[in-house]
Amino acid sequence: MSHLVESATNTLEQLSHFLHQINEQQYCTPLPIFSESTVGMHVRHIIEFYQCLIKGVQQGEMDYDARERSLLQETNIAFALECIQNLFIDLSAIQSNTPIVLMASPKSTHQKWTIESTIYRELLYVIEHTIHHLAIIKMGCMSAFPTIPFHKDFGVAYSTLKFRESVHSNLSS
């Protein structure tokens, strides 16, 4: 289990490092490549998925669709960083793979479905979801703000990193 929390922490550290590289104007600028959404909106989305998970750990059920959609998280880098710091603390408290009920509306109806899941399964989902959004953020920023530096592994799935490593080690042999 500690590997999952470590992976989640790593993805949030990547996000935190990125937030120290971007300014408020870049964070809040609507980008055509994002269909006029902003980097801040993607950051908020990431944070709120983790917050839904933490709330679910505490309550035994969760609903990703019932996010707060905090305007402050998507417009204020310092507040987003504070939220991430709180997530580090909350994630470190996850100790067991307890069952959880996931509430979802997979169609455009108001009817909620309940799906049995576990904390670890949902944590893995949120990690993968975060990596996906980090990749989107990277693409948008490379297009709109090419001077922002990115680590080569930013927004790259762990399975892809492992594959690249195995290919590289095989070529070196």
Phi and psi at 36, nearest 5°, equal 75, 10
pLDDT(170) > 80: no
Q: How confident is the model at residue 98 (pLDDT cuts 50, 70, 90)?
A: very high
pLDDT(162) > 80: no
The DSSP-derived string for 95-130 is ----EEEEEE--SSSSPPEEEEEEHHHHHHHHHHHH
Give the type of residue at 9: T
Distance of alpha carbon 49 from alpha carbon 70, whole angstroms: 12
Q: Which of 48-52, 64-68, 125-129, 155-159 has the weakest average pLDDT?
A: 155-159
Give the pLDDT mean for 147-168.
82
pLDDT (tens digit per residue) in 16-59: 999 999 999 999 999 999 999 999 999 999 999 999 999 999 99
Tokens of 78: 């310092």
Beta bridge partners of 17: none
